[in-house]
Structure 1
Amino acid sequence: MYRESIWQQTTAIPARPELPGNISTDIAIVGGGLAGILTAHFLEQSGRQCIVLEADRVGSGQTGHTTAKVTSQHGLIYQKLIRCAGKKKAMQYAKINQDAIERYRILIEKYKIDCDWEECPACLYTKESGRALRDEYYAAKELGLPVEMKKRTELPFAVEDALFCYGQACFHPLKFLQVIAENIQVYEKTKVLRVKPHLLTTSRGTVEAEKIVFACHYPFVNRPGYYFLRMHQERSYVCALKEAQTLHGMYLGIDRDGLSFRPAGELLLLGGGNHRTGENPMGGQYEFLLHQAEVCWPEKCWTKDENVIPWSAQDCMTLDGIPYIGQFGRKTEDWFVATGFGKWGMTSSMAAAILLTDQICGRENPCGEVFSPQRLHPMTSAKPFLTEGTYAAVNLLKQTFAPPKEKLDRLLPGQGGVVEYNGQKAGVYKAEDGQIFAVSVKCPHMGCQLVWNPDEKSWDCPCHGSRFDYRGRLIDGPAQTAVDGEFPRKR
């Protein structure tokens, strides 16, 4: 099920042409989201010729599904960075993200972009122990960030502690993207299928390029780089609530099942329900958010569709919580990557565009060290690396040996599951009208077994986060193709 965000419902970015055939360029950028478009913009400003190749439409991926918080407060990041990577690299991380906020301000003023930009504080809060927040406060303060600890917030419940970071912002990402993309050469509906050192083969022709930037959320090229061993994906859910409460700041709970809040004009965005992609067999994430809305504002009726606009997002999570921005692999000097932004795609996209532009143009930027894709932080990376490998191995074995969990005749209308179908294991969705949609449960990326997500009516890969609708059509990568399916059959 495809759910449009409020950004997509209120913006119509003009369509761009498909790639007209075989062409050549200085720099080819894969991905027409915020990271790709901003990188193209800065490179063009530096006198480099760029084209952007987008498999669908500009901003149709994660940029269109974000909550669009523009902040350098990325959860409990700074105490961890100082402890595991050192103060120098923690300073680099803080500085480039603060620079990213300021760069947004500059571009919005320069191009007179009407994108609902609102200056506001960001806040981490806890209802439980405040020790972690106090540690984060001291770390952020040491790095020069504008932070303050408080005991009270404007939230509709009491907190134990709250860590405010001032000078942050929120905005309408697609209104901003539409203006920045206006003078960029973008080819839509042009899916990149294969990449060689200086040649991209797409669904519409080939592109020769001196340098290639992968800004497509999750790199679909497995080798070199091996990003499939160094990241997993997570889903999170959002409900835009009408007439809930007017908030000035943006909030994020650090407790288990902590909630996210941010204002959006007359709406309030309530987020949460995070889980690893492929780990939501029971569903209920939207119901969880609506229950939280009822607890916060019991006088409102949150079961009415006109009061709630739901959607979801997907994020790439790295081993150490730091994005991969820079040279794609040790031996690929002309390939670059921006991925693994976690839940912080807005500042990370801008930071990536700044860093990649400097690197491609031969300008030194000391902040790039902490984001190097070739880094290794043993204290933070060793255990997650083993976990990711074990997780993938278990799901590959499940595809081969695990028996189906459901019986076809036990599926109710609107439900899906892995069943025995025509003598084979298959993923089956039973539509409300009784039609049966059967697909292979083998992910075409690397063969892991797909899992049904009842909240989105999708088949999700728990290994690397690829997603497919109930007909088997590709929603999210790194998979490049749909899964095998059949035409629906009436029971």
Structure 2
Amino acid sequence: MSDTKPGSLQLPQMPQSYWRVSAPLPSFPKLEKDTEVDAVIIGGGITGITTAYLLTKQGLRIALLEADVILNGTTGHTTAKITAQHDLIYDELIGTIGEERAKQYYEANRDALSFIKQMIQDHRIECDFSEEDAYIYAQRESSAEKLHKEAAAYEKLGIDGGFVDKIPLAVPSAGAVKMPHQARFNPLQYIVSLLPHITNAGGAIYEHTTAVEVDEGTAPVVITREGWRVKAKHVVACSHFPFVDRHGLYFARLHAERAYVLAAKVQESYPGGMYLSADNPKRSIRSVTSTDGEQLLLIGGENHKTGQGICTIDYYESLLGFAAQHFKVESIPYRWSAQDLITLDKVPYIGPITSGLPNIYIATGFAKWGMCHSTVAAMLLSDTIAGRENPYRDLYSPQRFHPNPSIKNAITQNFDVAKQLITGKLENVNKQAGVLQPGEGAVVTYNGKRAGAYRDDAGTLHIVDTTCTHMGCEVEWNDGERSWDCPCHGSRFNYEGDVMEGPANQPLRKLGGE
């Protein structure tokens, strides 16, 4: 227990990920001509780049298209745990998809950890890699039963680990489930080291290049916002929501959640390990060795559906209170948040987008466990494109459907989308843009209609239409990130209306300013 007073600590004014400042990030040109390749990959995060690495090793000509800059999405804002311990998942999976599939889920993520470890050794990558034990701990005695069920699932599936009475970390716990020999690393230092292998093999990487459509066929063509065409034998969408979903197959089968992270400088030494609470509010804890040799604690949690929930800065404040309560915190040099997609059965969708389009693939729905699942996806997709068998193809197939959890969750999600759509349209807004102070944003009334307004630090007012360009829901202001977030499918826009995260690929309409 710490005597740090939360009021003596200050959050950074603007969010900034430690990962984004810890690695030298190269820049790449914008696509400015038509081109033809063997495979085009959409999305410049860990999934897309690892897939590009594996495909170029197979001798394929690839083009990777990133709408913004590489590694600025979830990969650049993760907690970067490389683990097969994905919360209390295995007892649930045995009940929903069966024991055989649950065991495959573990084995796939175990294989991904081994792949990453081997890559680091083979290429001598300096990325703060450290083998760590992973723990899910109970904050309350009433949660211990859930841990015992999960430990029983470990035993049934042959997973190394089980129930332990205590954890090394000095936070209150009523036992934990331990999975030994997991790992953590600096994801950007790892991924940046792969980029020269791609480009030296002839792979092309393009930033600020937004894919908006695909002409389907035996040789599909990806079309960018500027109208450039990339013809390929294979298209791999690694951009969270599939950037093309003409038949609406995935909007009803995925939902977006945000979570928050503080990087805290503390006085006490860290005992090692990676920790996640079994109870809500979620608390995730791991350490990182900074580039100047200092140890930071990454304290994360406070999950909620994108565009829904309380004032977003309050989630950071809640994490700050937890940190101050349990650690001797000197300062908070960084804060950031991340967005993840969750499928109906909590298993990612990896493979052909539909049975009728066998050469257009997706990798999505990693449910906050993207370090291993991204690697699973890259290995599975590269095997599929090469015509090799992969033991996890059916487990992750986007065409699968498990009646009990899938039907129930689909109904719940679609009801929530409909509720958010109607609520946004009927909201009575009285606030006027003129009252906003520098750094403040809000939904306002503008020319008699609902609008979004933000006054920047220089005093300039930016006003946008709050109707999401994806499916017409009304976006909400995110004060913690200074963005407009859609509560229906998770699209995000900056205060000027430009797309930050899909599935939307068109900006919010600008209405005015001063």
| 2:236 is aligned with 1:208 | no
| Superposed counterparts of 1:248-397, under 5 Å | 248-265=272-289, 266-283=295-312, 284-297=314-327, 299-302=328-331, 307-397=332-422
| 2:156 is aligned with 1:136 | no
Equivalent pairs, count? 484
| Superposed counterparts of 1:1-20, under 5 Å | 3-20=15-32
C-alpha change, 1:225 and 1:392, in structure 2 (3 Å) is closer
8 Å CA contact 2:133, 2:179 repeated in 1: yes
**Matched-pair identity in %:** 39
C-alpha change, 1:300 and 1:114, in structure 2 (3 Å) is closer
Equivalent in 429, 440, 451 of residue 465 of structure 2: 440
Deviations 1:430-464 (A, max 9, x none): 44565432211100011001111121121110000
C-alpha change, 1:279 and 1:247, in structure 2 (3 Å) is farther
Q: Name whichever of 328-337 and 405-414 sits farther off.
A: 405-414
CA distance in 2, matches of 1:225, 1:422: 34
8 Å CA contact 1:329, 1:373 repeated in 2: yes
C-alpha change, 1:210 and 1:426, in structure 2 (3 Å) is same
8 Å CA contact 2:266, 2:330 repeated in 1: no
2:44 paired residue number: 32
Q: How far is the alpha carbon of 1:414 from its aligned partner?
A: 3.7
8 Å CA contact 1:467, 1:476 repeated in 2: yes
Secondary structure at the aligned position of 2:357 is classed as coil
- Write the letter of the residue equivalent to 1:293: A
1:223 paired residue number: 246
2:259 paired residue number: 236
Unaligned 5+ segments in structure 1 are none
CA distance in 2, matches of 1:413, 1:177: 37
8 Å CA contact 1:242, 1:268 repeated in 2: yes
Deviations 1:350-404 (A, max 9, x none): 0001111111111111222111101111121112101221222223223433322
| Superposed counterparts of 1:391-406, under 5 Å | 391-404=416-429, 406=431
C-alpha change, 1:195 and 1:393, in structure 2 (3 Å) is same
8 Å CA contact 1:328, 1:335 repeated in 2: yes
Q: How far is the alpha carbon of 1:121 from its aligned partner?
A: 0.8
Equivalent in 7, 23, 29 of residue 35 of structure 2: 23
Q: Name whichever of 430-439 and 246-255 sits farther off.
A: 430-439
Q: What TM-score results when the alignment is normalised by the length of structure 1?
A: 0.94
Q: How far is the alpha carbon of 1:83 from its aligned partner?
A: 0.9
8 Å CA contact 1:392, 1:463 repeated in 2: yes
Secondary structure at the aligned position of 2:196 is classed as coil
C-alpha change, 1:482 and 1:403, in structure 2 (3 Å) is same
- Write the letter of the residue equivalent to 2:305: R
Q: How far is the alpha carbon of 1:300 from its aligned partner?
A: 3.6
Q: How far is the alpha carbon of 1:474 from its aligned partner?
A: 1.6
- Write the letter of the residue equivalent to 1:61: G
| Superposed counterparts of 1:408-487, under 5 Å | 408=433, 411=436, 413-431=438-456, 434-487=459-512
8 Å CA contact 2:41, 2:62 repeated in 1: yes
Deviations 1:31-77 (A, max 9, x none): 11110111111122223222211112221211111110000000111
Equivalent in 150, 165, 174 of residue 160 of structure 1: 174
C-alpha change, 1:54 and 1:404, in structure 2 (3 Å) is same
C-alpha change, 1:435 and 1:43, in structure 2 (3 Å) is closer
1:174 paired residue number: 188
- Write the letter of the residue equivalent to 1:271: G
- Write the letter of the residue equivalent to 2:178: F
CA distance in 1, matches of 2:26, 2:322: 37
Unaligned 5+ segments in structure 2 are 1-12, 290-294
Q: How far is the alpha carbon of 1:331 from its aligned partner?
A: 1.1
8 Å CA contact 1:324, 1:372 repeated in 2: yes
Secondary structure at the aligned position of 1:183 is classed as helix
1:89 paired residue number: 101
Secondary structure at the aligned position of 1:136 is classed as helix
CA distance in 2, matches of 1:300, 1:178: 31
